[in-house]
Chains A and B, each alone.
Chain A
Amino acid sequence: MVTPGPLDAARLPPSGLHGLDLAWSRLETVEIDGVARTFHFLDTQTVEGEEFDLTLLCVHGNPSWSYLWRNLLATLPPGVRAIAVDHLDMGFSDRTGTTRNLAQRVDDLVALTDHLGLKGPVVTVAHDWGGPISLGWALRHLRQLTGVVLTNTAVHQPEGAAAPRIIRMTRSRGALRRSTVDTTAFITGAFEMSKPRTPKHIRAGFLAPYETKERREAIQHFVEDIPLEPDHPSAETLNAIAQGLEHLENIPALLLWGSKDPVFSDLYLHDLEDRLPHADVHRWANAGHFVGEDQDVASAVVDWISGLNKTSDAVTHSSQPTRLLERISNPEIAGKVAIAEMGNGGAEITFDELSARIETTAAALHRHGVSPGDRVAIMVPPGIDLAVIAYGCWRLGAIAVLVDGALTPPQMTAAVKSANPKYLIGINRALAASRTLRWPGERISLEPLSEAQNRVLDAEADLTSLSADSTVDEARPLPREADHAAVIFTSGSTGPSKGVVYTHGQIAAQRDIISDLYAITADDSLVAAFAPFALYGPMLGITSAVPDMDVSSPASITATTLADTVVRTNATLVFASPAALMSTIRTEDELSVAHRSALEGVRLLLSAGAPIRVDLFDRAQAIFPNAVAYTPYGMTEVLPVSTISLPEMHEAGSGNGVCVGKPVPGAEVQIRPISGAADFGEIIVRAPHARLAYDRLWHTTHAASQPPGWHATGDVGYLDDHGRLWMGGRLADVVKTTDGLLAPVRIEQIVESLGGVAMAAVVGVGPEDLQQLVVLVELDEPVKKPDLADLALIDSVRTAINSEMSLDIVAVLAIPKLPVDRRHNSKIDRARLREWASAVLSGAPMEKI
């Protein structure tokens, strides 16, 4: 064995690097191609001979070192060992004076693990260009490989996609050496991309082994070794690794991704998803390249490996054919109107026509290339077109990505990018947004476009022309109940909107529960003034009428537009959002005698989408004199959880929150204890109509599915002696005072019952467990600027709260308008208010809310 000359030899990192336990640091000398090479690596086996059930082999990329994995190493569960290697010429390993390419680096890693005698099950964990190296190792150790974790990496440059611009720029003449070796620009630049900015002491940790030019040589070599060109020396190795992934079909895989990475963008995530279709995926909408610095990658990995041995899939996968569309094709209702639109010239369609159009649409989409399992974003307002396209997708087995018209444009962009549909069918406005905002998905318009239009919208096809050929494929099989049917989105009132995946079986179960719960029969007829329900009516086999409304603004409904719709179909059921009902109350005077008489025929009024105040619900119900009023409680992930009638709301009276009624048949509700909360806990639900998973959010799904098969709602509440559920607010909005935990809704209700207060929010300011209660009010006569409320109002708030719960309210601030979500116009963003109030009440200048 040759000992190399006096180049910079491997050494231990200096002390004081934030988060790095020096007890992990090891140096080992290995003979590679006849030369002694010393690696620095971190190893959590600190006692010689200690046995482990599993080893994580952690492989960093460029420019980085094993420091990248410090948080993971610090959070390992018992029985798990982690080895995080510094590549030769990187981190604190030897500076060899050689140029090491991908194949060499795989060999280096194999040599080290051979030398260490690494035995037993191994999960590889890698980042950046550590990905291909780790996979190269994995493919040579299939027998001990029990899992693969990849974070922001790539194994292949997808066809037709340009190489990342930053890498091309770095590689351009002159820039390469200057940025990688002559300066630390490549390293510091990589951190400039992190979101939020990585703190200085952490950046110092990453820079520690790269102090001098000599120590940075390999950063340039790494960049040069990226095979951007097909004849690159490492291209063949990389291709072999990429193709080798087909051997991992039985190896569990986890892809963790920061989607704001300008180098390893979503493109590479989707390439890996195609190669590892069984992989669990978590994509953080707001994380950057160093995803582990921006998000809790360590916990995700730990939770994932902890589930590796369990066969815990609590969801039973039914292979029965889907029942979603069965009622639509029922011959007994063939001639009945399925959908009547109030806008769009009053168009309507009967059930047999609808049934036929579903078949032709499915066939047309299939001919165009849409396959079962493909995702199709549908951006069409409620009505006949939406139903035909969504049901057509379901008939075919394609997954409908239903992007809500009530999301804000940035939320829509985030939603479409996270769902990554292969196709996007939309009205022209949606296609224009899709093009300008660079949403993924091949565009398909509803109608044929003129050449001028298409220069703007750039659609590949139009649905009308595609469906002109009315041949249908008689043999088309129905999708299975377990197949994915839809991705819908949470309102995103706090944080990015999350995609929620439903199967055919789950949506069918939801339809059946609604049908049973409200005793819907073939004689009923529905007005869907709450957009999501526009798709349920036909599935229930009853006539649905859609009022002429702007979906992005539920308040665009008026008493007249609603009553006109009831008149048109002699409706017996009215499903509306609280905002639509408020607007109906405001415009009630416009109703004619004919309207009034039609409204007498309504037997059931459902307020859905957000909580409704009892007094307002009373007023809304009075407009429908013969209707029983109900409101369900639930969320995007499971709806309904429970339901309550207006008389029951009166009977329940006041308690710690809002009474939302008894759980619906089939739904089990439990209260999970929260440490520090005496009289409430987190509401968890198990139901056949609950969501399958969050979309590309494996860790979120995992965290919200404990115990397995349940959905943790993130709401707090309790079950009373009559089995009724009470909801006290969001878990994240619980205030931690010295007197214990406090759910906000009860206090808000007390404040909202005071004269002059339109809406109230309660937040806590100050350190955890010492939070002080602050009440923020929007007044009936709104103030112009946020300020302290009148002393009289402060007194009445304190008196009211004190008499019921003996708590101190440190401040009552009047706010022009409380921030609410756009979809429901009612969910208060307390997190934003908390942040604002904490700043202002500590003396910071007043920022905009």
Chain B
Amino acid sequence: MIGKLIVERLLARGDEVTTLQRSPSGLANREGVIEVLGSITNITTVEEAVAGQDGVIHLAAKVDIVGALDEFVAINVEGTTNLISAARASGVSRFVHTSTPSVAHGGASIVGSGADPADPDSTSGHYATTKAMAEKVALAASTPEMPIVAIRPHLVIGPGDTQLVERILDRARSGRLPIVGSGLALIDATWVDNAADALIAALDRAPELGGRALVVSNGEPRTVHELIARITEAAGVEWNPRKVPTKFAIAGGRLVEKIWEITNREDEPPMTGFAAEQFSTAHWFDQRETREALDWTPTVSLEEGWQRLAEHYQ
């Protein structure tokens, strides 16, 4: 979702773009686009993709809720080191690493924090842990010749998003989307266009920002209840949630995770401890430093975002 928006923006301003992903992006026919297909775990493919590039925006990650740690490490950590070393070898002069705010936080609520250092020991779940490891590796590898900036967009929302929007809608439709706790924890979200703009801004300003991590959001915290209500409303899905006490949801989620792990199930569990925690504690950030560093502000407000989402689902 976001990769496509970035490509469009880069093309619009006259950049030449090479894309690397596992399956065709649908952008290959566009003028100025070279498509490389393959995995970032394959060093040859990666070398091919980064050869002759001025800059790299690294968006690839395994974001699933379930799965073996090995796979997460291979894609999120080793994939990142592959990309960095190949980029450095081919003389790339700037590198943007896409990270996540969950690299720096366990289950505690976040109320107006900045970007604390990534800490794999305090994270919860394979995804956040391996992303924390990757960010540490990436920022440590930043040099004046190839400055590396980590951008952590929080809760990216946009039309066609399968990570969050579709999951929410699926569960709302089937009546499996309760409100955990009061549903009143404030959460920052990022409209996808703003995330794309921020990543490009980071690429442009990488020489000044090498080695830094910045959280990106719309800067309009909303209650979890409202976020879900807006998404379901935009999609025309009726949502009549039950309320589940927080402790119960977290404990239940952990139990479910355990069962999935023991039974090697690969389908998505109905609830995980991580998700229950995420949706019952505040996560909103101080955006002042980010906006100044990137010289960027969101152009699509959440209100406008909900309208776009509604248009998408019409």
Query: Is B one of A's binding partners?
Result: yes
Where the two chains meet, the residues of A that have a C-beta atom closer than 8 Å to any C-beta of B are: 738, 765-767, 770, 772, 787-788, 791, 794, 798, 808, 810-811, 813, 838, 840-846
B183 touches A788 (CB 8 A): yes
Q: How far is the CA of A843 from the CA of B184 in the complex (A)?
A: 6
A811 touches B112 (CB 8 A): no
A841 touches B181 (CB 8 A): no
- Chain A: which residue is nearest B230 at the CB level? A791
A840 touches B220 (CB 8 A): no
List the 4 shortest-distance A-B pairs measured between CB atoms, nearest first. Answer: A843-B185, A843-B281, A842-B282, A766-B112
Point out which of B112, B183, B186, B219 has the most chain A C-beta atoms below 10 A from its C-beta.
B186
A843 touches B282 (CB 8 A): yes
Q: How far is the CA of A844 from the CA of B220 in the complex (A)?
A: 20
Given contacts A794-B226, A798-B303, A811-B222, contact A766 B284 (CB under 8 A): yes
B233 at the interface (CB under 8 A from A): yes
B233 touches A841 (CB 8 A): no
B185 touches A811 (CB 8 A): no
B185 touches A841 (CB 8 A): yes
Given contacts A810-B221, A811-B223, A843-B281, contact A766 B230 (CB under 8 A): no
Chain B residues positioned under 8 Å from A738 (CB to CB): 288
B280 touches A843 (CB 8 A): yes
Smallest distance from the beta carbon of A848 to chain B beta carbons, Å? 13
A791 touches B229 (CB 8 A): yes
Q: How far is the CA of A840 from the CA of B303 in the complex (A)?
A: 23
8 Å CB contact of A845 from B109, B233, B246: B246
Q: A791-B230, A843-B281 are in contact. List 12 more A-B contacts (CB 8 A).
A: A765-B186, A767-B112, A767-B286, A772-B112, A772-B284, A787-B184, A788-B184, A791-B233, A798-B303, A842-B186, A843-B181, A845-B245
Chain A residues positioned under 8 Å from B44 (CB to CB): none
Q: How far is the CA of A811 from the CA of B183 in the complex (A)?
A: 12
Chain B residues positioned under 8 Å from A770 (CB to CB): 112, 286, 288
Smallest distance from the beta carbon of B191 to chain A beta carbons, Å? 14
Q: How far is the CA of A371 from the CA of B82 in the complex (A)?
A: 92
8 A-B contacts, Cβ less than 8 Å apart? A767-B111, A791-B233, A810-B221, A811-B223, A811-B226, A841-B282, A842-B109, A845-B182
A840 touches B184 (CB 8 A): yes
A765 touches B111 (CB 8 A): yes
8 Å CB contact of B184 from A766, A767, A791, A813: A813
Given contacts A772-B186, A791-B226, A810-B221, contact A843 B246 (CB under 8 A): yes
Given contacts A798-B303, A808-B220, contact A840 B281 (CB under 8 A): no
Chain A residues positioned under 8 Å from B288 (CB to CB): 738, 770
A841 touches B223 (CB 8 A): yes
Q: How far is the CA of A787 from the CA of B226 in the complex (A)?
A: 11
Chain B residues positioned under 8 Å from A813 (CB to CB): 184
Smallest distance from the beta carbon of A158 to chain B beta carbons, Å? 50
- Chain B: which residue is nearest A790 at the CB level? B229
Chain B residues positioned under 8 Å from A811 (CB to CB): 184, 186, 222-223, 226
Question: How many interface residues does chain B have, given as a range?
Answer: 20 to 34
Chain B residues positioned under 8 Å from A765 (CB to CB): 111, 186
- Chain A: which residue is nearest B281 at the CB level? A843
B186 touches A841 (CB 8 A): yes
Smallest distance from the beta carbon of A843 to chain B beta carbons, Å? 4
Chain B residues positioned under 8 Å from A766 (CB to CB): 111-112, 284
Smallest distance from the beta carbon of A519 to chain B beta carbons, Å? 53
Chain A residues positioned under 8 Å from B183 (CB to CB): 788
B254 at the interface (CB under 8 A from A): no
8 Å CB contact of A810 from B220, B225, B233, B281: B220
Chain A residues positioned under 8 Å from B284 (CB to CB): 766, 772
A845 touches B181 (CB 8 A): yes
A842 touches B112 (CB 8 A): no
A788 touches B185 (CB 8 A): no
- Chain A: which residue is nearest B180 at the CB level? A843
Q: How far is the CA of A838 from the CA of B184 in the complex (A)?
A: 10
Q: How far is the CA of A810 from the CA of B1 in the complex (A)?
A: 27
Point out which of B184, B233, B286, B288 has the most chain A C-beta atoms below 10 A from its C-beta.
B184
Chain A residues positioned under 8 Å from B184 (CB to CB): 787-788, 811, 813, 840-841, 843, 846
Chain A residues positioned under 8 Å from B185 (CB to CB): 841-843
A842 touches B281 (CB 8 A): yes
Chain B residues positioned under 8 Å from A846 (CB to CB): 181-182, 184
Chain A residues positioned under 8 Å from B222 (CB to CB): 810-811
Chain A residues positioned under 8 Å from B112 (CB to CB): 766-767, 770, 772
B223 touches A788 (CB 8 A): yes
- Chain B: which residue is nearest A811 at the CB level? B223
Q: How far is the CA of A390 from the CA of B235 in the complex (A)?
A: 70
Chain B residues positioned under 8 Å from A788 (CB to CB): 183-184, 223, 225-226, 229
Chain A residues positioned under 8 Å from B221 (CB to CB): 772, 810
Chain A residues positioned under 8 Å from B226 (CB to CB): 788, 791, 794, 811
Q: How far is the CA of A841 from the CA of B220 in the complex (A)?
A: 14
- Chain B: which residue is nearest A809 at the CB level? B220
Q: What are the interface flags for B207-236 relative to A under an 8 Å C-beta threshold, 1 for contact and 0 otherwise?
A: 000000000000111110110011001000
Q: What are the interface flags for B277-309 relative to A under an 8 Å C-beta threshold, 1 for contact and 0 otherwise?
A: 000111010101000000000000001000000
Smallest distance from the beta carbon of A71 to chain B beta carbons, Å? 28
A842 touches B111 (CB 8 A): yes
8 Å CB contact of B182 from A794, A810, A840: A840
Q: How far is the CA of A810 from the CA of B184 in the complex (A)?
A: 11
Chain B residues positioned under 8 Å from A841 (CB to CB): 184-186, 223, 282
Smallest distance from the beta carbon of B300 to chain A beta carbons, Å? 14
Chain A residues positioned under 8 Å from B219 (CB to CB): 808
- Chain B: which residue is nearest A766 at the CB level? B112
